[in-house]
């Protein structure tokens, strides 16, 4: 199974094959990333037996996972497809004005990856059958579930 980190703003991919990946700005790393707030040797990612582990190598600005405000420590953490990983910044590109130079990525897998194709939808709208509309209750804050009577 092939894994990769996909930059949330640009779509740039960092492929993570089985093995050890040293990430940072230094040419000594086998994955050179020159994003803002990256340390020379920032992190190590290990892919083994279909699992992915990441460890902060005492970088200056840390690693942030899944919108959490606290940094990852200096032990290995298992990460999964769909996790958001940010190097040196506690943001993931959702905020307006987030620079493209921030190292914010989503963990992806080539085996389960797909691109949504909405080319058949008209003006970005979907046609839901009126009989099924009650299955979407709770989307709005004040919306009550449908009565069963």
pLDDT tens digits, one per residue of 22-80: 999 999 999 999 999 999 999 999 999 999 999 999 999 999 999 788 899 899 999 99
Nearest by Cα to 52 from 28, 31, 80 = 80
Give Cα separations from 32 to 17, 21, 71, 113, 141 (angstroms): 15, 10, 21, 24, 44
pTM: 0.72
Q: What is the CATH number of the domain that holds 37?
A: 2.60.200.20
Q: Is residue 121 part of a domain?
A: no
7 lies in which domain range? 3-109
Residue 10 in any domain: the answer is: yes
Whether residue 29 lies inside any domain: the answer is: yes
């Amino acid at each position: 199974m092939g894994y990769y980190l996909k930059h949330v703003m640009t779509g740039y991919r960092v492929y993570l094959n089985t093995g050890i990946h040293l990430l940072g700005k230094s040419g000594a790393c086998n994955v050179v990333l020159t994003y803002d707030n990256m340390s020379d040797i920032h992190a190590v990612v290990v892919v083994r037996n279909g699992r992915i582990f990441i460890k902060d190598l005492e970088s200056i600005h840390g690693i942030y996972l899944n919108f959490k405000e606290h940094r990852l420590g200096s032990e290995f953490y298992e990460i999964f497809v769909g996790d958001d990983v940010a190097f040196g910044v506690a943001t993931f590109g959702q905020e307006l004005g987030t620079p493209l130079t921030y190292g914010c990525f989503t963990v992806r897998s080539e085996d389960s990856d797909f691109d949504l194709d909405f080319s058949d939808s008209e003006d970005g709208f979907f046609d839901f059958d009126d009989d099924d509309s009650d299955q979407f209750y709770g989307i709005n804050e004040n919306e009550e579930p449908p009565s069963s009577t």
